[in-house]
Amino acid sequence: MSAGAVVMMVLAMLVLWGGLAAAVWNLTHRSKAPEEHYRRDL
């Protein structure tokens, strides 16, 4: 693989998979409403 391709692949991984990790962290740590369980339709 060329250096440019490697850089862009790593960049895409950092942005998209890093973005997913950051979004999950935000949801679990900064969310105003805690994860809840409720019994509808169970």
- Using CB under 8 A as the criterion, which residues of the chain lie in contact with another protein when the complex forms? 1-2, 4-9, 11-13, 15-17, 19-20, 22-24, 26-27, 30-42
Q: Residue 30 CB, nearest distance to another protein (Å)?
A: 4
Q: Report angle CA 29, 17, 9 to the nearest 5 degrees.
A: 155
Q: Residue 34 CB, nearest distance to another protein (Å)?
A: 7
d(CA 25, CA 31): 9
Q: Residue 8 CB, nearest distance to another protein (Å)?
A: 3
Q: Report angle CA 5, 12, 29 to the nearest 5 degrees.
A: 160
